[in-house]
Each structure stands twice: as structure tokens, then as C-alpha cells.
Structure 1
Amino acid sequence: MTHTVEQIAMALGAQAFGAIDIVITRAAEPASAGPDDLALAMNPKYADSLSEGHARVAMLWDGADWEALGLEAAIIAPRPRYAMAGLTRMLDAGQGFAAGIHPTAFVDPEAELGEGVSVGPLAVISKGAKIGAGSVIGPQCFIGWNATLGEGAYLREAVSIGARVTIGARFIGQPGARIGGDGFSFVTAEPSNVESVRKTLGDQGDAKAQDWTRIHSLGSVSIGDDVEIGMGSTIDCGTIRDTVIGDGTKLDNQVHMGHNVVIGRNSLICGQVGIAGSATIGDNVVLAGQCGVNDNIFVGDGVIAGGGTKLMSNVPAGRTMLGYPATQMDKQVEGYKALRRLPRLMRDVTELKRIVFKSNSDT
């Protein structure tokens, strides 16, 4: 996993300066970088940290004076953070998963594995499953009946893919991701108090207590190309149709998607987001950590919701939302500032009342 400064710069489409034949073994933060490391000082605020380490080479911001920083060589990219994506890909040593099928794995005779598929210890690949060429199925993974994974899938340890789930090419499943569990769908024989509350927003009515009857999930999950699912995330099957995730969308850790949810292309769903059943999320949406999305609403293309936002009703395309309940971010911040000013305002009002009452008493 070693590369010269010149090789790294060429691979990243960046410029290399100085002793471009220096061999790099790993990337490091500036203060802890050694002489064979590439220090990542991609912003001027990290310049002072370079002197705390022993780096000879650094990736720097555009316009940086690398010689003045005491370096022997430098890599300069117009968009350093984007270059960092390519750099980490080059230097990633992976998880050490071996090629071939481990002797403790179970692969059903009627499963179809493409060329070069790796199957790790104690993994299970069920009847009718289809795994695309070059895929890696990590230790203790489960691939369900008639599930399909496209080429280049990469499943870390203990990923579970349920029956009939369809996943496109270059899928990444982080440890413990669970895809294709049954939806949380239950109904009562007669209208329930929950249904009354939904209509009245408060009154439970006179419905009696009843048993909950399970609605089975006949749909599955359909996932596009280049999707990544984070650790511990859970995606429910659809009730009749599939739950859907579009091409290029990325889910962080501990995200939950309820039954029938549809997420479009190239959206980012951050940690601990919960999306209730039958919600529709558009393309290029960003939901920051701990956002909540109500059931049966839509969130339009390009919406950005800040951390902890609770989306209770439909959100038009392009909006930037914050708060609980969600409002447009600038209005939420304005209201928050006003709330912080309330104690001072109340003190001012109290003082004005005192002055007015004193003036009236003097007259």
C-alpha cells in the first residue's frame, strides 16, 4: 500500500511539488505525522500543527507556500476534501477478507454466485439468491431466499438481507445492517382509539381496548446502484409494494426506514434518523442526525433538515428546515433568538411598569 508523491498526485488529478519520489505509507494528522506519512493539512488553520509532527510531505490548500512550511514535498489540489476521497480509497487496506468461499459458509446449491465472489466464515446464502461478480459477503452475513445483489457488493460482518430483496451494483453494507424485516403494521377489528386521535388530534373517543392483528409484508425492498447502508440500520419491507432507495443514496448508522418508504437518488440520511411508513423523500435530500419524518408525507427534492428536526407535514422542494415542529431554518433561528431575549424583555417590562405606576402615584 505504498505510493510515491507523484503517483498519488497523478491519481488524484492534483499537483505535486518538491521531492516527488518520496514514498508514502499512510495518511496522518499533521501533529502526529511521521517522515513517511502524508500529513493532511488542507486548511491554513492546520499549518501550525505541521511543526509539531515530523512530516516531510503534506496535502495542502490551494496557494499554500509549502517550502515556507519546512516541507520537502507537497500535494496541492483545488478541492482538497474531494481529493481526500480518492486518497483514502488508495490507502484503504480493507478488512482482510479472504478470496473464495470459507469452508464454514453455507451456499445453497440453487444460489448463483458470479465470478470472484468471496464468502466469509459462517455466512449463509439461501436458495435462489443471486450474487454479482466481484462481491464480498463478510463473516456471518445472511442472504435470503431469492435475494439479488449486483456486482461489486461489499457486505461487512453480520449484514442481513431478507427474502426477495433486490440490490443494485456496488452496494456497501456496514456491520449489522438489517434489510428486509417485516413492516410494523397492525390493525384492530373495529376502529381504535388511535384512529380517533388521528382524526381529532386529542379525543380518544369511546373505542374499547382490542387486540392488534398483524398485517403481513408482501412487498420487499428495492435498492439502486451505489447505495451504502450504515451500521445497525434497519429497512422494513413494503406492505404490498417494495420499500425503495434510489441510486447513490447513503444511510448513516442506526437509521430506520419504515414500510413503503421511498427515498430518491443521491440523498444523505444521517445517524438515528427515523422515517415512518409510506413517507416519500425526494432526490438530493439531506436529513441531519436524529431527524424524524412523519408517516404518509412527502419531502421534496433538495430539502435540507438540520439536526433533530421533526418533519410533521409535507415539505416543498428546496426548503431548509429546522426545529420541532419544523419550520424554515431562518425563521426557526429568529424565533430561538427571540425566545432567548424573553427574560431580558420581561425585566424591561417590569421596570417600565414600575416607572409608570410610580409616576401615576406621584400625580
Structure 2
Amino acid sequence: MPFSIAEIADALGIRAEGNVALTISAVAEPAHAGPDDLALAMKPEFAAQLTQGQARAAMLWDGADWRAFGLDAALMAPRPRFAMSGLSAMLDTGSGYETGIHPSAIIHPDAVLGADVSIGALTVIEAGARIGSGSVIGPSCYVGKDVTLGADARLNSGVRLMHGVSIGDRFIAHPGAVVGADGFSFVTPEASGAENVRETLGDAGNAMAQSYARIHSLGSVTIGDDVELGANACIDRGTVRDTQIGNGCKFDNLAQVGHNVVIGNDCLICAQVGIAGSSRIGNNVVLGGQSGVSDNIFIGDNVITGGATKVLSNVPAGRVMLGYPAMKMDTQLDLYKQLRRLPRLIADVAALKKTVSKTEPSD
């Protein structure tokens, strides 16, 4: 920091025009950009705000007339939002955790730390834990017995990795995330009302009041490389086999993954999504915010669910789903349009009935 326009273009593999020696030290929205900021004007509607700020350089879409906006230089990106990924990595100064091992950290003698590992204040590392080289463990974290954490991981403050969890390289977990808590598994001595409802789809039967017995979680959690967990996201351990998360999956805040779930590679799990136990999710699946997935079902590759969708049955690969219960998005939207027409239709029918009743001959 700062970076020249030429340095940024070279790092991102995009084109730069104008005074490429110009340096910037931060990014800003066009209307609030100062002379040392790079304005992010990646769409024409954003670029229209450039005159409200003082930016001398901006990131624009490929083919934009940057001179018309009074700029001295521009970065031209075929896919500006993707270029933002690399740009944000260049400008991210990090969380500010200190390097080395804080004297208040408690590290078991049998734990194995790779080269250049940093451990924050009040963090606990249990026996048999193995931390990969270059990893940063923030303050007040917990790494349980026999946990394996790959290289270049970053655990932000308050992350909990419970015993036996195995995680690949470049793992990122935001504050409060928990991996490997016990699954939500309870059973009653006799069939419960909830079991009867599941079987009959509506009839609770005459089930007696019973206490719940706990089924212990004997499995663990296995997570691949390049996975990121949002704040307070939770992945439960399996009952017998491991809960499994593939490579490249990204979880937003407050996502919940139940016991025995298997998720493929490169899935995007948005905020407040809940995935019930023993469900299987394919590759490249996107679950929109507040989507819910029932237990013991399968969702195929490349499925996308809109926000608040509730998936109660298997979904074939490639489907786009919406609603409760989930159905194909175009079908759901058509039903919604029909629903909006109902008041007018009811009024029309009432008017027709009135007209017919007036024209009927009297006795």
C-alpha cells in the first residue's frame, strides 16, 4: 500500500488506461471517493455518481468511456465484480492479530504446531491437535483433542473446533462458528406424536407424554480445502459416520448443518439456512437465505433455491426452486400471480351471481 494503477492491473490481469502511475490507497463508492481512492463504478448507474466525488481513478466495466467521467486513469474489467475479489484481497489489511504465541494461550504439550503458526490470547489447544503451517488462531478460540487443521487457516475470535474434527487447508471461520458439536438426536421409548405425524402426515395419534433419551454423536466432521464459515455458523458431528463438507464451500452467518449431512464441492449456503440430518447436497448448489432442507433427502448438482424456500422432497440436478413447499421457480411465480388475481376474480364472480339472480324469472 499504496498501489499504482499499473500494479493493480497487472495483479488482476485486467487492462489499465490513462495515467497508470497514479497511486491509490483505498477503495470507495463513487460519490464518496477522495483523490487517493479508487472509485468502484462497475455499472453505468454507479459511474453517474463519479461527479459527486473526487476520484481520479475508477474501476469500470470493459468498454466504458472513462474520459467522459473526468478521470485520470481507469481499470477496465470484463467482469468487474470478479476483479473485486482480487482487488479486495490486495487491500485487506487483515484482522490485526499479533504474530507468535500469546503467553496466555494454553497449548497441550502433545499438540503439534506447524511453522509460523500464531495463537491468540486465551486460546486453548488440546492434546493431539495438529495445526498446519501459517495458520492464525485468534483470541479465545478452542481447538479440541485430536483436531486436524490444515495450512494457512484463519480462526477468528471465539471459534470452536470440537474433538476429532478434520479440516483441510485455507479454512476460514468467523467469530462464534462451531464445528463438531453433537447432533440433535433424541428418541422416546415408544413412538412419539412427532413420529406419528411424520408417518401419517397429520395425525399425532394417542402418543403418551414421554421423556427423550439422548443418542450420542460418535462420528465427527470432515471438511475439505478452501471452506469458509460465517459468524455463528454451526456444523454438527455425525451420529456414527462423519458429517462431510466438500472443497470450496462457503457458509454465511447463522447457517446450521445437521448430523450426517453430506455436502459436495463449491456450494454456497446463505444466511440462516438449516439443513436437517442425513440430507445429501450435490456440487455447486446454492441455498438462498433462510432456505430449509428436510432430513434424509437428496438435492442434485447445480440446484438453486430462492430465499426462504423449504425443500421437503428430493430435487433433481439443475432445478431452480422456490416456495413452501419448494417447487420449480417458474411454476411458483405463476401460482403467485394467480393468487394475486384472486380478489378480482372473486369480485367478478360475485357480480356475475348478482346479475344472474336479477335476471332469473320470478314465480
The two structures share one fold, judged by TM-score above 0.5:
yes
Q: Name the SS for the 1:76 alignment partner.
A: strand
Question: 1:270: which partner in 2?
Answer: 270
Displacement of 1:191: 2.2
Letter in 2 for 1:184: F
Structure 1 residues 75-94: aligned runs within 5 Å: 75-94=75-94
Is 1:281 aligned with 2:281?
yes
What is the rounded CA distance, in whole Å, between the counterparts of 2:267 and 2:347 in structure 1?
A: 46
Is 1:128 aligned with 2:146?
no
Runs of 4+ deviating beyond 4 Å:
none
Letter in 1 for 2:160: S
What is the rounded CA distance, in whole Å, between the counterparts of 2:165 and 2:89 in structure 1?
A: 28
Question: 1:303: which partner in 2?
Answer: 303
Q: Name the SS for the 1:308 alignment partner.
A: coil
Question: 1:255: which partner in 2?
Answer: 255
Question: 1:329: which partner in 2?
Answer: 329
The percentage of counterpart residues that share the same residue type is: 60
User: For each residue in 1:309-351, what CA deviation from the matched residue of structure 2 results, as whole angstroms up to 9, or x when unmatched?
Assistant: 0001111111110000111100000000000000011111112
Question: 2:9: which partner in 1?
Answer: 9
Question: 1:199: which partner in 2?
Answer: 199
Question: 2:217: which partner in 1?
Answer: 217
Sort the Cα spacing of 1:350 and 1:165 in 2 relative to 1 into closer, same or farther, 3 A. Answer: same
Structure 1 residues 23-42: aligned runs within 5 Å: 23-42=23-42
Displacement of 1:362: 8.2
Question: 1:319: which partner in 2?
Answer: 319
User: For each residue in 1:282-325, what CA deviation from the matched residue of structure 2 results, as whole angstroms up to 9, or x when unmatched?
Assistant: 11000000000101111111110000000011111111100001
Question: 1:356: which partner in 2?
Answer: 356
Question: 1:164: which partner in 2?
Answer: 164
Question: 1:245: which partner in 2?
Answer: 245
RMSD of equivalent CA atoms? 1.1
Question: 2:342: which partner in 1?
Answer: 342
Displacement of 1:2: 1.1
Question: 2:185: which partner in 1?
Answer: 185
What is the rounded CA distance, in whole Å, between the counterparts of 1:208 and 1:360 in structure 2?
A: 59
Letter in 1 for 2:164: R
Q: Name the SS for the 2:321 alignment partner.
A: strand
Q: Which runs of 5+ in 2 are unaligned?
A: none
User: For each residue in 1:232-279, what CA deviation from the matched residue of structure 2 results, as whole angstroms up to 9, or x when unmatched?
Assistant: 111111000001110001000000111111111000000000111111
Letter in 1 for 2:257: M
Q: Name the SS for the 1:190 alignment partner.
A: coil
Sort the Cα spacing of 1:50 and 1:209 in 2 relative to 1 into closer, same or farther, 3 A. Answer: same
User: For each residue in 1:209-235, what CA deviation from the matched residue of structure 2 results, as whole angstroms up to 9, or x when unmatched?
Assistant: 221111100001000000000001111
User: For each residue in 1:35-74, what CA deviation from the matched residue of structure 2 results, as whole angstroms up to 9, or x when unmatched?
Assistant: 0000000111112210000000000111111111100011
Q: Name the SS for the 1:60 alignment partner.
A: strand
What is the rounded CA distance, in whole Å, between the counterparts of 1:43 and 1:205 in structure 2?
A: 59
What is the rounded CA distance, in whole Å, between the counterparts of 2:82 and 2:23 in structure 1?
A: 22
Q: Name the SS for the 1:67 alignment partner.
A: helix
Q: Which runs of 5+ in 1 are unaligned?
A: none
Question: 2:139: which partner in 1?
Answer: 139
Letter in 1 for 2:9: A
Question: 1:56: which partner in 2?
Answer: 56
Aligned residue pairs, count? 363
What is the rounded CA distance, in whole Å, between the counterparts of 1:76 and 1:205 in structure 2?
A: 66
What is the rounded CA distance, in whole Å, between the counterparts of 1:348 and 1:217 in structure 2?
A: 59
Q: Name the SS for the 2:48 alignment partner.
A: helix
What is the rounded CA distance, in whole Å, between the counterparts of 1:297 and 1:61 in structure 2?
A: 42
Letter in 2 for 1:291: S
Letter in 2 for 1:259: H
Q: Name the SS for the 1:353 alignment partner.
A: helix
Displacement of 1:114: 0.4
User: For each residue in 1:17-43, what CA deviation from the matched residue of structure 2 results, as whole angstroms up to 9, or x when unmatched?
Assistant: 111111110011000000000000011
What is the rounded CA distance, in whole Å, between the counterparts of 1:17 and 1:51 in structure 2?
A: 19
What is the rounded CA distance, in whole Å, between the counterparts of 1:217 and 1:224 in structure 2?
A: 21
